[in-house]
Amino acid sequence: MHHLPFLLYSLQCSFLYSSLIFCCDATTPAAAAAAAAAAAATSAGENNNKIIQHEHLTNDTDNSNGTARPRPRPMVFGLGPGRTGTDSLREALIQLGFGPTYHMKEILLEQEGISTEGHLEFFHKAARATQEHKDKGYDRDHAHDPVDFRHILKEYNSGVDWPLSAFPDELLAAFPDAKFILTKRSAKGWHKSIQSSVCKLNPNRSYPMKFLQCLRILGTPFSRFAGHGDMMDAIIKYKFAPGLASTWPELCNSQQIAIDALEQWNERVERIIPPHQLLIFELGVHGYRELNQFLNDMKDPSTTSASTSTSYPRVNSTKEVQITILSLWLLCILLHVLMIGIPAALMYFFLNNHRKKKDIVSNRASQISSKKKD
């Protein structure tokens, strides 16, 4: 249940926020380092009958200038938009030894323990740069290009999901020997999926997200909710659905726009990426067998030790996202209770205590006055 880490982390933040009410001293929680990729890679290596385990990539950098050294093998990128099995592909790539894998979760939660500070702004700027280049007549490789994908991905060996998947041209230019995977599903099914899940997490429309982004004093992930909606609007307008939609809600609210955008996107990817570098991955049809064949350049997939009986991952389903949304509402209610209920209870306690003391003083004065009269 991939919503649980976020919920537990959010609950931890809520208790820290309550301490702010009492002590006026907020502690910013540090993002916890995740070891899931390394554990999954080790597990896959121990069972050769399941899947091929690649040699783990090293992304050493030259300390003198901070530039990445040549990689021993190509990067791998998923170019399907969110809700086309991108999180399942992330899990599969990690199992096959291509982790750490960049994903939207990295931007918001830093699950791999790698800092992604400033990445929201990076992708917002990169999306707008597409239109700026058209307006100014720049070539794609012009020196005025403000984005550096090699730098932003220097700690990763693969990447999937929005916003990264919206930049096939830039990724191909930055990593000319990379391999690309286009995950596909029916356009109607895709629109139904986004409308029932991630569309409800729009920070500019969803009240829980609007409320939680106000808690940026608590640090990650709350500090990143504010820019998420604007970044996704730029991705939709300039990269994923240019000429069809200018905001994320427009894509969510119109089935026809979503269908046209997805079909247009798939055609564009197949036009941009050379055929020998692109795998068309049909959800529910393909699995580890096709990934192994593509990533290992095998002509005969039967030569791989990967077992076709190994279940391909299926994570972050629509139901899980809906549970996450419900968790956010519960967290929102909890924080309201902490923010309003606790101060109200404290105020009642102090006022009631003050009234009792006042009554005691008044009773003593009355007793003294009665004794004097006697």
Q: pLDDT in tens for each of the 374 residues of the chain?
A: 444 444 444 444 443 433 333 333 333 333 333 333 333 333 333 333 334 344 444 444 443 344 455 566 799 999 999 989 999 999 999 999 999 999 998 998 898 999 999 999 999 999 998 777 666 665 555 445 567 999 999 999 999 999 999 999 999 999 999 999 999 999 999 999 898 888 877 655 555 565 565 665 555 666 677 678 889 999 999 999 999 999 988 999 999 999 999 999 999 999 999 999 999 999 889 999 999 899 987 554 444 444 444 789 887 655 665 566 666 666 667 776 777 777 777 887 888 887 878 777 777 777 777 777 66
- Give Cα 278 to chain centroid, integer Å: 24
Neighbours of 317 (CB within 10 A): 14
179-184 and 278-282 as β-strands: parallel, antiparallel, unpaired? parallel
For the chain, what is the domain count? 1
Per the CB < 8 A criterion, the answer to whether 31 and 6 are in contact is no
Per the CB < 8 A criterion, the answer to whether 341 and 220 are in contact is no
User: Does a structural domain hold residue 346?
Assistant: no
User: Does a structural domain hold residue 256?
Assistant: yes
Q: Report the helix count and the strand count for the chain, using DSSP H and E.
A: 15, 5
User: Does a structural domain hold residue 209?
Assistant: yes
Neighbours of 24 (CB within 10 A): 7
User: Does a structural domain hold residue 334?
Assistant: no
pLDDT value for 361: 74
Report phi then psi at 57, rounded to 5.
Answer: -75, 150
In terms of residues, how long is the chain? 374
pLDDT value for 8: 41
User: Does a structural domain hold residue 262?
Assistant: yes
User: Does a structural domain hold residue 325?
Assistant: no
Per the CB < 8 A criterion, the answer to whether 233 and 247 are in contact is yes
User: Does a structural domain hold residue 351?
Assistant: no
The CATH number of the domain holding residue 124 is 3.40.50.300
| Reported pTM | 0.68
pLDDT value for 182: 98
pLDDT value for 60: 44
Q: Torsion-angle region of residue 161: left (phi > 0), alpha (psi -120 to 50) or beta?
A: left
How far apart CA 177 and CA 335 sit, in angstroms, is 48
The domain of 267 spans: 31-316
pLDDT value for 190: 95
User: Does a structural domain hold residue 134?
Assistant: yes
